[in-house]
Structures are given as structure tokens and as C-alpha cells.
Amino acid sequence: MRNRNLWYWLFLAPTLVALGVVIIVPLIFGTYYSFTDWNGIKITEFVGLENYQKLLEDKEFMDSLWFTVKFSVVSIFLINFFGLSLALLVTQKLKTNNILRTIFFMPNLIGGLILGFIWQFIFMKVFASIGDLTGIAAFKGWLSTDTTGFWALVILMSWQMAGYIMIIYISYLESVPQELLEAAEIDGASSFQRFMNVTFPLVAPAFTVSLFLTLSNTFKLYDQNLSLTGGGPYNSTQMVAMEIFKTAFSENNYAYGQAKAIIFFLIVAAISLTQVYINKKREVEM
Amino acid sequence: MKSKKRKLYLLEILGIVLGLIWLSPFYLMIVNSFKTKREIFTDTLKLPDVFTFDNYVQAFEELDFIRTFFNSVLITVLGVAVIILFSSMAAYALNRRKGKVSGLVFFLFIAAMLIPFQSVMIPLVSLFGKMELLNRFGIIFMYLGFGSSLSIFLYHGSLQGISKSLDEAATIDGANRWQIFWHIIFPMLKPISVTVAILNIIWIWNDYLLPSLVINQEGMHTIPLKMFFFFGQYTKQWHLALAGLTLAIIPVILVYFFMQKHIIKGIAEGSVK
């Protein structure tokens, strides 16, 4: 009997140990540290909720949280709009279908850090050249105000992630039975009616998947934020992930940074659980 | 019928225009990477007067490109190998012995996916620092911890479709679990192994934050990490920065070119599930 259990635990051990040491133990320690004055090395006293109270009045943290929310909402909308539009386009009988899918998806293979640097060049130098050429002042000085910094990040993320979301919509769109669409066409439905009444209900699950995928990607954004704007000007485009990093590692405020990290965890977990709940509910309905 | 043809024709043109827009950042990066510093300063939109490779020669040296490239290869290959090896084993154990314990362990792995990296990052670095594991060994172990959840989930799903009667037949023939898994089950998991490999390669190859915290030492830098310092050093020297960025993405584009079918399929499978 013992021998029969042994293989089971041996097969599980490597991943279970890694999960424990890399995620579970740090999360438990981290939660505890957030109630102390931990300085990265030692703890001298237990401070209760002090870090959390401080955080509520921390303008920089609250600003970054608000910026992250605004950024996520706008990006989610645009990424899904472009993603679905591209998917509808490349599922028509075009000769260029495959090459277009390849192109739209390409940015996702390249790291966010590198993409951010490429776009920094576009916004700073290429936009300036376009401004010189056309005489339109709006092209000048991107990344040097908070508004243009915001939109620069939105443009970068929409360009990058639309192709990713496109792939998800494509996999649902291609599962729509062709006979259904043809039957609707014979019955005289316009292409808009066919989309709204046949395609749309069948790809509806793709929306939940895509919405939460973009939400979790934009909410936790770090690399692109770091390389495109670096949080500037004056921290006005700084997102939560970057703010946490800075508090802990640049300002050496370990316990305080960890308290922010715990709040971040709670928000992300709440979002993800909402998704799980919605998915479950829909499965029951279907 | 004619109007339908015309509509397709217009959509084709729209697609090509959008495709060109999507590619334009890469085009601008490449074109300007062949210019001199002065030319970029005056105009970024036109083609270079003379194509110069000097930028590439200098960027290649400054990035210590060959070593940096192989550092990335080393971390990625080892990271993905341990994830595939150990996640498939774990998923097999969980799938073949259903019960309360397996249910709980599986739930634990899935629940861990809800935890964002930033919320464990600070204690993780401190803990690994104390264990003197802020090195390559440590980072591979960390990748196993962060990567196993999704991989176990994907393997677990695939194992549902592989009948237990195979295991039973092999047991009667005298094979033990280890032999059954590696000789019979693992080869059958090949399609999902490809998906798991692709998803993890893309993630680890491009990862910046974890290497910056764990292996931030001269000689160990991966491409994203080296790129960060290189860019910081040559800020305002766009001719060098752009050549460096182009060098950094060439390997990815080459692989994409040869494996795009697998990659796109892998992404679709990995995210829809």
C-alpha cells in the first residue's frame, strides 16, 4: 500500500515544492510582513494596520491605481474592438488571410520591454518628423505630457494585443457552422443581420474570455510601462505594478511596498473570481 | 454576385492597408537603424542616403550579443524543459488518482494562477537571497513554480482523453508507473507538450522583471535585461538603440517564420481553455 502511494507523491513533489517555495510561502510571509516594519532583513515590531492606513492617504499610490483603472478600461474596449474587427476581416475569403493573421499577431511574440522602446522611438522621433512635415503641432512632444503618455500606452497595448485577442475570436468564429450562415442568407438576412443574429450569439463566450484576458494583462502591466514612459512625466503615467516595485526596491520601503502588493493581489483575485463566477453561471445556463 | 466580389476586393485592400500600418513600427525601426545619428536627427521618414552597417557592428559588440543570446537560450531551454518534465508528471499523478487529495492539490495549482507576480515578488527575492539562490539555478526553479500551474492544467485536460486501460494493460505486463508514464503516456501527450512549450518559451524568452531581480549580474544578462541597460546607456543615440532593438528581435522573427502555424494554434489552445 505504501508503495502504491509513493509514486504519486514522487511525481507531484517537484512542482509541489516549487509552488510552495516560490508562491505560497512568499505570499504567507508577505502578508505577515505587511503588518510589520520589515526592512528587507529584519523585523523590529508589529505595527498592525499602520501600513494599510498610510496607503490610503498615499497620493502617489492612489494616483497610480486610478491611472491603472482608467488605462485598463480604455484599453480593454479598444483591444477588443480591434481584435474582433480584425478577426471578422481575416475570416472572410481573402487571399491574404494567412499572411494578415501572421502580421497582426507578430507583436505578441516580442517582449513588452522591447516593444516599448520601439514605440518610444515612434512617439518621440517619428511623430516629431510627421509634425515637421505636416505642420500639425499635435504630433510634437508626445510622452512629455500625462495625456499623450496615457494615449501612447493605450496605442502600444492596442497594437500589441489586438492580434492576440483576434486569435481567440477567430477560433470561435471558425466554429460557427457555415450552413447556418448560408441558410440565413437564403432567407434574405443582410450581412449585418447575420452577424447580429447568428454569429454574435455563438461567439459570445469569446467575449468573456477576451475581456478578462485583456483586463488581467493591462491591469498588471509593467514592462511596457517601464520602457515606454518610465512612469513619467512626474509619475503621471505610473501604473500600480511599477509603483509597488519602486516603493520596495528604489525607496527600500519593504513592508510598505508589500502592503501595496497585498492590496494589488486582492484586487486581481477579486477580478479573476468574478470571471470564474460568470463562466460557471453561463455554463449552467447553456 | 458581382457586388459580392467587389466587396471582397475592397476588404482585401483594407486588410493590406491595416497590415502595413501594423508593420510600420518595425519598418521605421529597421530603416532608421541604417542611418547615421545626424540623419535620424533631421528626418526619420525617408530612406537612408547611404545604408551604414556601423550601427550594427557597434550594437553587436556593446550588447555582447553572442553571449547574451546564449544566456537567453540557456535560461529558456532549461526553464521550459523542467516545466514540461515535471508538470506532465504531476498532471499524470493527479489525473490517474482521483480523490480528495488530488482535488485539493489541483485546486491549489489553479488558485495560484490568481496571484500576480508583484504580490509575492518582494518576499520571494528576500527568501531566495537568504538561501543564496539568486542565480541561474534559482531562476529556473522559480520558473517551474510560476509556470507549472497553467502547464498542469493543460496536461490534465489532455490526459482525460487517454484511456486508463492503457495503464492497466502495461501494469499486467509488469511495467511500473515510471515506465508507463515515460514509454506510453508521455509520447501520446506530444501535441499538448508542443503547446505548453510554445507558451512557456514566449513568456520566459521575453521576461524582463524576474531576471532583473534574480540574475542581474554581468555575464548572465539575458536579451531583455541587456537591452534595458543598453537603451539606458545610449538614450538619445537612436541609431545605436535601433540597431540593438533590431538585433534583439531577429531571433524571434526567424523562429516565428518557421513555426507560425504551431505558434498560433498553441496560443489559441492555451488561452481559450
Instruction: Convert the pLDDT of each residue in A212-240 to its tens digit.
Output: 889 989 999 999 999 999 988 889 999 99
The residue among A22, A122, A214, A249 with the most chain B CBs within 10 A of its CB, best to mutate, is A22
Which residue carries 551604414 as its cell?
B52
Chain B environment of A90 (Cβ under 8 Å): 15
The model carries a pTM of 0.92
Chain A environment of B264 (Cβ under 8 Å): 101-102, 105, 167
Instruction: Convert the pLDDT of each residue in B104-130 to its tens digit.
Output: 999 999 999 889 999 999 999 999 999
Question: Closest partner residue to B45 among A112, A129, A220, by Cβ?
Answer: A129
pLDDT given for residue A104 in this prediction: 96
A119 with B256: Cβ contact below 8 A:
no
pLDDT given for residue B1 in this prediction: 59
Q: In chain A, what percentage of residues exceed pLDDT 90?
A: 63
Instruction: Convert the pLDDT of each residue in B138-165 to its tens digit.
Output: 999 999 999 999 999 999 999 999 988 9
pLDDT greater than 80 at residue B233: yes
Does residue A7 belong to the interface with chain B, where contact is any CB pair within 8 Å? yes
Q: Whole-angstrom Cα distance, residue A11 to residue A108? A: 33
Alpha helices in A59-111 (DSSP H): 59-90, 97-105
Q: What is the mean pLDDT of residues A79-89?
A: 95
A101 with B264: Cβ contact below 8 A:
yes
Question: Closest partner residue to A268 among B14, B114, B263, by Cβ?
Answer: B114
Q: What is the mean pLDDT of residues B207-235?
A: 93
C-alpha cell at B180: 508507463
Question: Closest partner residue to B112 among A21, A23, A132, by Cβ?
Answer: A23
pLDDT given for residue B114 in this prediction: 87
pLDDT greater than 70 at residue B205: yes
Nearest residue on chain B to A127, alpha-carbon basis: B44
pLDDT-derived band at B224 (thresholds 50, 70, 90) equals very high
Q: What is the mean pLDDT of residues A139-145?
A: 87
pLDDT given for residue B218 in this prediction: 87
Domains and their CATH numbers in chain A: 58-252 (1.10.3720.10)
Nearest residue on chain B to A220, alpha-carbon basis: B116
Question: Closest partner residue to B206 among A103, A110, A168, by Cβ?
Answer: A110
Chain A, window 121-160: residues with a beta carbon less than 8 angstroms from a chain B beta carbon:
121-122, 125-126, 128-130, 132-133, 159
Question: Closest partner residue to B90 among A11, A257, A269, by Cβ?
Answer: A11
Measure the CA angle with vertex A114, ends A110 and A115; round to 5°.
Answer: 70
A19 with B148: Cβ contact below 8 A:
yes
Mean pLDDT of chain A: 90
pLDDT greater than 70 at residue A284: no
Instruction: Convert the pLDDT of each residue in A125-141 to its tens digit.
Output: 999 999 988 988 888 88
Q: Identify which has the larger pLDDT, B236 or A162.
A: A162
Q: What is the mean pLDDT of residues B161-186?
A: 92
pLDDT given for residue A148 in this prediction: 92
Q: Identify which has the larger pLDDT, A1 or A29.
A: A29
Integer CA distances (angstroms), A159 to A11, A69, A108, A162, A165, in order:
42, 19, 9, 6, 11
Q: In chain A, what percentage of residues exceed pLDDT 70?
A: 97
pLDDT greater than 50 at residue B34: yes
Domains and their CATH numbers in chain B: 55-272 (1.10.3720.10)
pLDDT-derived band at B273 (thresholds 50, 70, 90) equals low
**Residue A277: how many CB atoms within 10 A of its CB?**
10
Helix axes A112-121, B238-272, angle to 10 degrees: 140
B146 with A23: Cβ contact below 8 A:
yes
Chain B environment of A256 (Cβ under 8 Å): none
Question: Closest partner residue to A269 among B15, B26, B114, by Cβ?
Answer: B114
Chain A environment of B249 (Cβ under 8 Å): 110, 114
pLDDT greater than 80 at residue B237: yes
Chain B environment of A121 (Cβ under 8 Å): 28-29, 32, 44, 238, 241-242
pLDDT-derived band at A174 (thresholds 50, 70, 90) equals confident
Instruction: Convert the pLDDT of each residue in A93-111 to its tens digit.
Output: 888 889 999 999 999 999 9
Question: How close A13 comes to chain B (CA, Å)?
Answer: 8
Nearest residue on chain B to A102, alpha-carbon basis: B260
pLDDT given for residue B71 in this prediction: 96
pLDDT greater than 50 at residue A205: yes
pLDDT greater than 90 at residue B223: yes
Q: What is the mean pLDDT of residues B93-104?
A: 93
Mean pLDDT of chain B: 92
Measure the CA angle with vertex A82, ends A81 and A85; round to 5°.
Answer: 85
pLDDT greater than 50 at residue A1: no
Q: What is the mean pLDDT of residues A154-177?
A: 93
- Tell me how many residue pairs between chain A and chain B have CB atoms under 8 A apart: 254
A92 with B264: Cβ contact below 8 A:
no
A14 with B116: Cβ contact below 8 A:
no
Nearest residue on chain A to B261, alpha-carbon basis: A102
Does residue A40 belong to the interface with chain B, where contact is any CB pair within 8 Å? yes
Chain A environment of B47 (Cβ under 8 Å): none
